[in-house]
Each structure stands twice: as C-alpha cells, then as structure tokens.
Amino acid sequence: MTNHEVLLRLSVNKHDNSAVTSLHDNNVEIIRTTVIRYFGTGTVADNVECALMQRMAGQARLYERSEDPDAWLARCANTECDRLRNEAIRDKAEKD
C-alpha cells in the first residue's frame, strides 16, 4: 500500500490496523529518526514510537488528497513528536 492509499484509509478509519502497519513499514526510517531526534533511544523512544503511530493515524483525517504524502508524513511526525515531548515536560513539571 502506498502512503497516499494508507492516509486515505486512515482518514476514514484511524483504527485500521493494516493501514497503520503499512504506514509504519513504509516510513520506518523517518519515524525512527524523528523519534530519536526528540527522545533519544531506549524504552522511552520505543513507547513514543507506538504513541506517534496512533497520533499520526488520528491526524490522517487532515490529509488533503492534493498534498505530497511523504512531505505530509514528515511534517506530521515532527509536529506530533514535538507535542509528545511538550506533554511529557508539562506532566513532569506538574509532578514536581
């Protein structure tokens, strides 16, 4: 399945496991690179990667058919990793 097809399927059903798996498999390098840039490596990064996939699937409803799917995915991965990092910082600050 191409990224375009995956995004169209996820825009209809963000719980389409086959589409989420294809999204990850098609873009594993960019996803891991983005997660490492924001969170480093290790257990936290592994957990973030799973959360990132769920968030990207949920954001697919915002994908426009005329957009370049690869550019959209890279932008979405960066945005969602930034949000996840900010949420983690806020949660840590609230605990302290």
Q: pLDDT at position 19, please?
A: 97
**Is residue 76 pLDDT above 90, yes or no?**
yes
Q: What is residue 16's predicted lDDT score, i.e. its pLDDT?
A: 97
Q: How confident is the model at residue 44, as a pLDDT?
A: 86
Residue 19 C-alpha from the chain's centroid: 13
Report CA-CA distances (Å) from 70 to 7, 17, 43, 58, 61. Answer: 10, 20, 27, 17, 15
Q: Tell me the fold of 3-95.
A: Rna Polymerase Sigma Factor; Chain: A (1.10.1740)
Give the tens place of pLDDT for each residue, 32-69.
999 999 999 888 888 999 999 999 999 999 999 999 99
Write down the mean pLDDT value for the chain.
94
pTM of the model: 0.88
Q: What are the structural domain ranges in the chain? A: 3-95
Q: Cβ distance 49 to 31 under 8 Å?
A: yes
What pLDDT shows up at residue 4?
Answer: 96
